[in-house]
Structure 1
Amino acid sequence: MSKNGLSAALAKMRDAGVAPQAMNVFSHYYGELERGATGLVPEETIEPLRQVASVDDVEVSEHDARQALGRTVLIRLNGGLGTSMGLERAKTLLPVRDGRTFLDLLVAQVMAARARYDVTLPLVLMNSFRTRQDTLAALAAYPDLEVEGLPLDFVQNQEPKLRADDLTPVTWDADPALEWCPPGHGDIYTALVSSGVLDALLERGYRYAMTANADNLGAAPSARIAGWFAATGAPYAPEVCRRTPADVKGGHLAVRRSDGRIILRDTAQTPADQMHYFTDQFRHPFFHTNNLWFDLRVLRQTLEERDGILGLPLIRNTKTVDPADPSSTPVIQLETAMGAAVEAFEGATAVEVPRSRFQPVKTTNDLLLVRSDAYELNADGLLVQVAEQACTVSLDARYYRTIADFEARFPAGPPSLRGARTLRVEGDWTFGAGVVATGDAHLGPDGAPGTVPDGARI
């Protein structure tokens, strides 16, 4: 059954015009799935990563930093639709501050770095087939952004979702688009090759790539980190931060006992009965920001040596074909994580960075915070935290999860969070203008639905 399943899946990919390199990678992971690979990384097979270099302790001359940044390309993952917040287009087109979107602020960061260091610094997005059109239309407002000879984007590959019962490609007549899924952001390495972007970068003298999620506004161009990475001679280096109680679900780095290599372990790769080890911020003190650096030459050489397959650990993702319908056909999605490539390169290292380089927006809780006065937007497109500590926001998901519901309940904008440690909202509340949250602010369900009056303090 599974042999027929692979043949059917490859035929489906071929008919859809999927790149041959992506089909080879899919075949590799299909074989892994057949062999029973789970991608699990038990605690007994790893040692905690206790020490990494801190960028604060690095000495890099202005000249070396500028030289390294001049040979760097910024790649941003822009394939997400923000469906968890009720969006149906690229999340980066969502306004963040003063009517400016994630994409606007990202472009501002790039243009500021170009002007400051006198470098070309290309920005290239990895879009999905669902985000590309709207994103490129928005970037048309920046005619000076594109670097001659390089595209503004390349498209992430797609693969068939597999029926969980027999590993054949699923069919879903109600919405055939749901028969497909991305192979996880680990596809970036394959897509760079199959799109021709990797060769184009190397031909134009670029050596290093700095990659991050497009919704992480903290991952701005950094000449200092570029200079550090170039000086190490390492092929690959993720940025990590010290874990706090808020980070215990994020992936962490560890050292594999069998060969001493640094690896990335996510929640999906942790046995259920060992999650207490995974979430222990003191046992595993560094979390992976998904900001990472890699040497383009080494990537090309490694892919050539391995017939285009880096061999990243498989992530076996079990879902239903229609994520919104739990009664729809159960499927398996074959995925890999971009950060897992740390184990694919001999001599890979890591660098500890300030928490300010990790400002992702995954939920409306995060969005409220970055829109609030806890941050200020500077001329370089950077959100600068002005509060003594960033407030932890928890909004009742029944009423604030989607952007439409969220916007309706903050018609006058976010409350002041500069003096708040936490904001917890239970129930359905609509906020008036000039509301100020202080300390551990809480709105309970009693009295909801209700309105928080203009100028109220909570």
Structure 2
Amino acid sequence: MHTEPFVKKMSTRKLPQAAINTFAGYYKQLINGEKGFISENQIEPIQKGQLDLWQTNSSYTSIGEQALNRTVILKLNGGLGTTMGLQGPKSLIPVKDQLTFLDITALQAINLNKKISSRVPLILMNSFKTDTLCSQFLQKYSELHGDIPVSFVQNMFPRIDVSTLAPVTVPQDPQLEWNPSGHGDIYTSLKTSGILDQLIEHGYLYAFISNIDNLGASLDTGILGYFISNKLSFLMEVTDRTWMDRKGGHLARHKDGRLILREAAQCPEQDRQYFQDISRHSYFNTNNLWINLLDLKKLLDENNNILNLPMICNRKKIDPTDPDSAEVFQLESAMGTAISIFSNASALRVSRSRFAPVKTCEELLLLWSDYYLLNDDYHIIHNPARRHENMGIKLDPQYYSWIEQLKERFPHEAPSLLECNSLQITGDIKFGRGISIKGAVSICNRKKHQIIIPDFTHIESDLHFE
């Protein structure tokens, strides 16, 4: 199979040449049997003490504050809420005090600009699946609209039939023929959309990039000052891996000395035990990145707007709602892998508070509860009244995997988890209002019908309904 059918398909959609050439390069790797794997014998673990540990520093903070008018906030906003039972943009899910991810992100930016009298733009990288609804949603925040566009759309790649390696055709739903090209496309899309040149023309030199569903990822002027003071081109925030992070991308060092990011899809099966060994590979990529925009432009100009990031090949169902549908390959890239491309790149160890993503309904329930608070700066913070910062929570996937299921079983509010150390809920259980849970608690319903926990119940020991 040749690249011509894919090139024709992408050209018809008027995708930029850099996106077409990137896909063609990845496709050639695929048909040559390459899977984009990074084996354990190609890398070495990062040792303790090899990365700086971030601590608040007033001189760095001062430098960062002075650079705010030359800094931009970029949020990755291409994902849908399919893993939580929704078909729309994930960023439009209400997460705290009836505010969505996008509300909180917008209010953070507006508050920052008012507080310091700065002009830090907020820019979303949308996908073709999220752009229309999210652009409409942002219209209510007039303060965000100025000389710099509030969003741009990342490129998309044709999906590939696993059995034939040909372009997928779905006449009844042509959108299923395409996938967003992964957040690694942010660099090329910034350039081909014209946003990168526009930012530089307006005097912006630095970008803070993060996932929109990571509510711990706010612009930290101290880290900005650290980035500037060390004259870095690229900085990745990493945090210490926990057992919960064992399947997430980890930082390592290539045998040639470069820092390198290895994602789960890049790990060959025989090395899975090493990948998930958090004592061996101790640092997890938060996907909070800092970029020098001039250095990025230079790198792109020298390489025809292509960074040649490592290919990630994901195997998916063509219709995520139909488990019997045909399988496709999705070719993507991850933006953190650029750490091995920039010549002056580094990583910084940050606290866990910089990484508060919402990938599951368990994490969403924690956000709904008093485990987290929304402060006056619209930052999500751990409730300082809690004695234990971390808490384990496990909800029965049969009854709590989707947001609508969660809303049905917590119709009034989340229970108070202020004094809860761990919570496991098994079976169909509906919670009344004003419920509080203390200690390590398991609530289990083995009955065939739903159990209702009455209003204002205080739970501090296991409840089992047989």
1:373 aligns with 2:370: yes
Alignment match, 1:422: 422
Matched AA of 1:297 = L
- Percent identity of equivalent pairs: 42
TM-score (ref. length: structure 1): 0.96
1:352 aligns with 2:349: yes
- Deviation, 1:392, is 1.9
1:68 aligns with 2:67: yes
Distance 1:411 1:286 in 2: 38
CA shift digits 1:116-166 (9 cap, x unpaired): 3322111000011121121122111111112x3210000011111011123
Distance 1:62 1:355 in 2: 20
Change (3 A) 1:210 1:62: closer
Distance 1:276 1:19 in 2: 40
Alignment match, 1:196: 194
Distance 2:417 2:245 in 1: 21
1:253 aligns with 2:251: yes
CA shift digits 1:187-218 (9 cap, x unpaired): 11111111110110011111111100001111
Alignment match, 1:95: 94
Alignment match, 1:397: 397
1:316 aligns with 2:317: no
Matched AA of 2:168 = V
Matched AA of 2:418 = R
Matched AA of 1:286 = Y
2:334 to 314, 334, 337: 337
CA contact (8 A) 1:391 1:417 kept: no
Distance 1:414 1:279 in 2: 32
- The 5 A counterparts of 1:172-211 are 172-211=170-209
1:167 aligns with 2:168: no
Alignment match, 2:37: 40
CA shift digits 1:424-457 (9 cap, x unpaired): 1111111111111222211113235211121223
- Deviation, 1:59, is 5.4
CA contact (8 A) 1:37 1:314 kept: no
1:156 to 154, 157, 161: 154
Alignment match, 2:462: none
Distance 1:353 1:230 in 2: 17
- Deviation, 1:420, is 1.1
Alignment match, 2:133: 134
- Deviation, 1:347, is 2.0
Out of 360-369 and 300-309, give the one that drifted further: 300-309
Matched AA of 2:138 = L
Distance 1:42 1:159 in 2: 26
CA contact (8 A) 2:110 2:143 kept: no
Distance 1:341 1:95 in 2: 32
| Alignment coverage as a number of residue pairs | 453
CA shift digits 1:290-344 (9 cap, x unpaired): 1111111111111121222211111111122112223322211111111111111
Runs of 4+ aligned structure 1 residues displaced above 6 Å come to none
Alignment match, 2:14: 17
Distance 1:245 1:320 in 2: 28
TM-score (ref. length: structure 2): 0.94
- Deviation, 1:61, is 4.5
Which blocks of at least 5 consecutive residues in structure 1 are unaligned?
none
Matched AA of 2:395 = L
CA contact (8 A) 1:369 1:391 kept: no
Which blocks of at least 5 consecutive residues in structure 2 are unaligned?
460-466
